[in-house]
Amino acid sequence: MTWIEPSKAIKDFSEISGMIGNAEVRNWQDRKGKVVGYFCSFSPQEIVMAAGMLPFRMRGTGSSGTELADAFFSEVCCTFPRHCFNQALNGEYGFLDGLIVTNGCDHLRHTYENWKNADIGTPFLHMLFRPSRCGEEMAGLYRDNLAILKDELEKHFEVDISDQDLLNAIRLSNRTRKLQRELYELRKAESPPITGAETVSVMVAGTAMPRELYNERLESLLSALDGSERRMDEGSAARLMVIGACNDDPHVCNLIEESGGIVVVDETCFGSRNIWQDMDEGGSDPLGAIAKYYVNERPSCPRILGDHDRRADWIIDAARAFGVDGVVGQALVACDMYASEFYMLKPKLRDAGIPFLQIDAEYVPAFTGQLRTRVQAFIETLG
């Protein structure tokens, strides 16, 4: 199966997501704008935006090895933080004015400690603790932690972050979510106008460029895609859903779509997990609205205890809504959280009549031939 050539708009998004120090980040800094990196999708980008700065989602894009990072991390640590840290040691993240690290997992938490010990030189470094459970009490605890982050950002960068600034940032983020939901809705079509691999590039680009500019370009892309179809050279593709963690590279979706499938929806932390609910814009406590959203309202990940059934229900509901023939679970090697999550998820998908394939891979693609064989065999079983 071969897809027609992607549009120039999608190529522009691919260029932005395909490198760390992209042109839009350089343009932002040329205008004296500050850039603050963050690792986890549970990090409150709205607070960084309210401070007038650019939030940048951390990735290991472009990394070819972890030779430098291996002096700081154990070899049994997940390769996502190792590749990200290796890029930092190589100077790829020298443009950061600040970095927010969360306790997403032990491997990620160690990144904060190693970042300090390696003296990389990032002027502002903050460890943000996100509660490991949902609930009103946990949302209140997270609000307290966000207030500390807000105070430290104001002091270090000598800015004032008002409630109105926070509300404006929330509205801007909600606009992004609305446009991204429209993009996903287009993928419900029998012949979607955009592939799963292209969608990954579009979504990742939104974490690596000024939000106003991203919204403007995404709106233009949606106008170009509306009413169009993606022509396939032969037959119909198996409709698949990809679930997992740090899927910031289109290679898995490319592999699937070169093997006879089409990825029509995902449940990943760079993808749809961020978009299904809007943040409350009408309350008198915007900081509390941000905390409530990230703790209770948006879909959680395996790092959140006691919420597996809700996550499984969401995956099954999305698979049915998008007409999915099967689900592909991508787990990074040495990620205990997703290994446990997929173990509990398999029987639920089986009971729902949804075929499931689990693939364990390193962050940087390796043994692609073996993965391709497994994916092709899985698609063949779907008929």
pLDDT for 88 beyond 90: yes
Q: How far apart are CA 223 and CA 210, in angstroms?
A: 20
Q: 3-state DSSP call for residue 270?
A: coil
Mean pLDDT confidence for 67-86: 91
Confidence at residue 8, expressed as pLDDT on a 0 to 100 scale: 83
Task: Give tens-digit pLDDT for 104-115.
Answer: 888 888 899 999
Span between the terminal Cα atoms of the chain, in Å: 15
pLDDT for 370 beyond 70: yes
Q: How far apart are CA 335 and CA 192, in angstroms?
A: 32
| Tokens representing residue 94 in the block | 């020298």
| Tokens representing residue 41 in the block | 């999708």
For 232, which DSSP code? B
Confidence at residue 1, expressed as pLDDT on a 0 to 100 scale: 43
In terms of Cβ atoms closer than 10 Å to its own Cβ (0-12, 13-18, 19+), residue 175 is middle
| Tokens representing residue 1 in the block | 């199966």
Confidence at residue 235, expressed as pLDDT on a 0 to 100 scale: 52
Confidence at residue 230, expressed as pLDDT on a 0 to 100 scale: 65
Segment among 209-213, 261-265, 282-286 with least mean pLDDT: 282-286
**Pairwise pLDDT comparison (1 vs 75), residue with the higher score:** 75
φ/ψ of 243, rounded to 5, equals -125, 155
Confidence at residue 87, expressed as pLDDT on a 0 to 100 scale: 97
Percent of the chain with pLDDT over 90: 78
What is the signed CA dihedral for 138, 143, 144, 148, rounded to 10 degrees? Answer: 140
Question: pLDDT grade, residue 27 (50/70/90)?
Answer: very high
Strand ranges in the chain using DSSP code E only, listed in sequence order: 35-38, 54-57, 98-102, 124-128, 238-244, 261-267, 326-332, 356-361
- Specify the residue for token string 């996903």: 184
| Tokens representing residue 62 in the block | 């472009």
114-116-121 Cα angle (round to 5): 120
Confidence at residue 366, expressed as pLDDT on a 0 to 100 scale: 67
Segment among 63-67, 176-180, 368-372 with least mean pLDDT: 368-372
Mean pLDDT confidence for 63-92: 92
At what angle are helices 196-205 and 8-17 packed, to 10 degrees? 60
Confidence at residue 231, expressed as pLDDT on a 0 to 100 scale: 54
Confidence at residue 367, expressed as pLDDT on a 0 to 100 scale: 64
pLDDT for 321 beyond 70: yes
Confidence at residue 380, expressed as pLDDT on a 0 to 100 scale: 94
Average pLDDT, the chain: 92
Mean pLDDT confidence for 26-37: 96
The answer to whether 256 and 23 have CB atoms below 8 angstroms apart is no
Mean pLDDT confidence for 320-331: 96
CA distances from 49 to 37, 56, 144, 290 (A): 12, 10, 19, 13
Task: Give tens-digit pLDDT for 197-256.
Answer: 999 999 999 999 999 999 999 999 999 898 776 655 445 689 999 999 888 989 889 999
Q: What is the pTM of this model?
A: 0.94
